[in-house]
Amino acid sequence: MLLASAIASQVAPAPREQTATSDQRPTILRRNPDRYDDTFRKYSKRYFGVGFDWRLFKAQGMAESNLNPEARSGVGARGIMQLMSSTYKEVQSRNPDLGRIDDPEWNIAAGISYNRQLWRQWQRESDERHLHEFMFGSYNAGRSIVLRAQRMARDRALDDRVWPSIQTVASSVPRWRYTETLAYVERIKANLERMDAKGRVNPRR
């Protein structure tokens, strides 16, 4: 599986599609940022397999909620992974062992499971080097938005399977708060770079 090096290679806005995530905020960590590391490890292994870099999902949780299990957004997204209730119910229908959305463990588990769904959907439609960006971009904006961006990239004779092409056409995609999504993907990368090999966060980076 690709690790950190693979993703280092990303007037009022229109309403965006309702997806897993909420509006974005700076990554200012709560106390004990390593508190949920075992949970991120556990469900990364369950849904992505041994050897996948679980720190990616911790970096995502940092971008979503600052790892705050009580986080709520103005549009109703909840918990560490900022899941909408509709998204959580969809994931729960495939994983009936999941409990309440407000339980940090189940919230993390559902977020990673939803990532896995997106990962599988993008495996044939994106370059392997950019799978992470397509997955996280879709988690934030919705897969249909990113598919529209792909079509626009093709129309402009760009390689629609790489994330830089999506970045190039993003401002032209209707009804997409693209600055939020692009910043979100970059924030996850930056959060990952703040961690050591064991996932511990360096607050100075």
Ordered mean pLDDT values, 10 residues apiece, the chain (205 residues):
40 43 49 91 98 97 96 94 96 96 98 98 96 98 97 98 98 96 98 95 72
DSSP 3-state of 201:
strand
Domain with CATH 1.10.530.10 in the chain: 35-122
| pLDDT attached to residue 20 | 59
| pLDDT attached to residue 41 | 98
| pLDDT attached to residue 10 | 36
**Measuring CA to CA, which residue among 141, 164, 162, 139 is closest to residue 59?**
139
Contact in structure between 65 and 71 (CB atoms under 8 Å): yes
Its pTM stands at 0.85
Partners of 200 in beta bridges? none
| pLDDT attached to residue 32 | 82
Write the CATH number of the domain with boundaries 35-122. 1.10.530.10
Q: Give the angle 132-59-7 at the CA atoms, nearest 5°.
A: 30
